[in-house]
Structure 1
């Protein structure tokens, strides 16, 4: 029965850490978690456990570990020597917690790391311009691009751009250079 209670306490601790760190629940404090889950531990013992679980969870979440990576990580942690080692019980609690919370934590981390404003949408079309504003005949294509930009919780702003054939080719050349840079980094890392 003590193992079941300890597993519930560990699960509660991990949930509390996630609530505070990833879901912005400011009502969750270290003191509240200690009083509710580990009232029998000294403040120092609880703080050590709390920081250990918080650090492990941060490592797991930052790497967005899949099940195989998680198992390898936890196995390595259980084999550590000294006070930093993870018990089999703690490893089981971490594994179960991560299996259930991975997608939510990942979404939260992505939401916290987005640059603002974000691109919400893009539409484009190519028109064939038949005359200039002065009435002179022209038959060159024009690309019209509309970007929808916005911040979370705010109305969108729209930016419209017009590109002639020369500008489209310049943009395509720059995009090719960007892609080549990305490919170079990926293949050499």
Structure 2
């Protein structure tokens, strides 16, 4: 087995998710850009707790997980979110995790639901239950090229409540990155309008203009 492992490393050497350098999954230079701390942001009255400032390195790590399905990149994101959950002082609340759902086209393309799958592993580590309370009601545009007002308009009314889901506990929205906050704010609006208690959101990354 060791011979096969060594041969695999020769043919397909491990590369850093951030800079693609041969060696380990995240090199010391990129680790400086992906080093979980604790950042608290308020967006439209919603409390957003994050671990890492969004950067070119963070973007590559998220893409390695989301688009390439690399387990090691998943682990970095999971570790970051678990770190924030341990720092955000939710001990006095009956917390439940609510993942931001993937669109049907992205589920088919990636072969999985990215954030819901991440949430399942976070739940295993923290023993915090997951409630898949949200569903996507309509098609939305790719947010990456949109301005902040356009993102808000794009997401308005995009989320609904999954069937047979009933309000209970203090809900924490889980997502990979918050840039303008349009997605998490719309998710919170949808949940609140149906009687759910949204305590806040936890993300792996937060865009620096929000800081």
The answer to whether TM tops 0.5 is no
TM-score by length of 1: 0.26
Structure number with the higher helix fraction is: 1
- Whose relative contact order is higher, 1 or 2, with alpha carbons under 8 Å and at least 6 apart? 2
